[in-house]
Amino acid sequence: MGGGGSMISEYDFGRIVVNGKQYNSDLIILPDRIIDNWWRQQGHRLSVDDLREVMTADIDILVVGTGKFGAMKVPRETIEALAAGHIEVHIAPTDQACEIFEQVRKQQPTAAALHLTC
């Protein structure tokens, strides 16, 4: 990762660098802003309520990073709610999710919801 025009230059357990700024808590990356200290109602389960800002953003794709070891689960109802809002979802462990985000954001309006630890 890193280099030429990447938003995410580094990711490791509990730490990510976005646009040159380091974050140490889960975050949502939207086309126009970053929401850091992102908490979910149930830590390792991603609900629709946890994605309010994503649901109202002008995006086509959401990339979900489920953590270094993929501990965060994305229930079917959350995926269906995003699909109903015409948002395509890509789900992967966070290191892979960062790479996917960098690839797709250059082609379509994209957001990322990233769990940085487990």
If you average pLDDT over every residue of the chain, what do you get? 95
- Rama region for 78: left / alpha / beta (φ>0; ψ in -120 to 50; rest): alpha
pTM: 0.94
Whether 78 is in a domain gets the answer yes
Whether 4 is in a domain gets the answer no
pLDDT of residue 117: 96
Residue 3 pLDDT class (50, 70, 90 cuts): very low
In which domain, by residue range, is 84 found? Answer: 26-114
Distance CA(2)–CA(99), nearest Å, equals 10
pLDDT of residue 5: 79
pLDDT of residue 2: 43
Whether 88 is in a domain gets the answer yes
pLDDT tens-digit readout, 62-115: 999 999 999 999 999 999 999 999 999 999 999 999 999 999 999 999 999 999
pLDDT of residue 43: 86
CATH number, residue 71: 3.40.1230.10
Q: Residue 20 pLDDT more than 70?
A: yes
Strands 61-65 and 88-92, by their bridges, are parallel
Chain mean position to CA 5: 18
Whether 30 is in a domain gets the answer yes
Mention every residue, 6+ apart, whose C-beta is less than 8 A from residue 27. Answer: 16, 18, 34, 35, 36, 37, 38, 114, 116
Whether 13 is in a domain gets the answer no
Whether 52 is in a domain gets the answer yes
Whether 67 is in a domain gets the answer yes
Q: Residue 1 pLDDT more than 70?
A: no
Distance CA(110)–CA(63), nearest Å, equals 7
How many domains are contained in the chain? 1
Phi, psi angle pair for 23, to nearest 5°: -125, 145
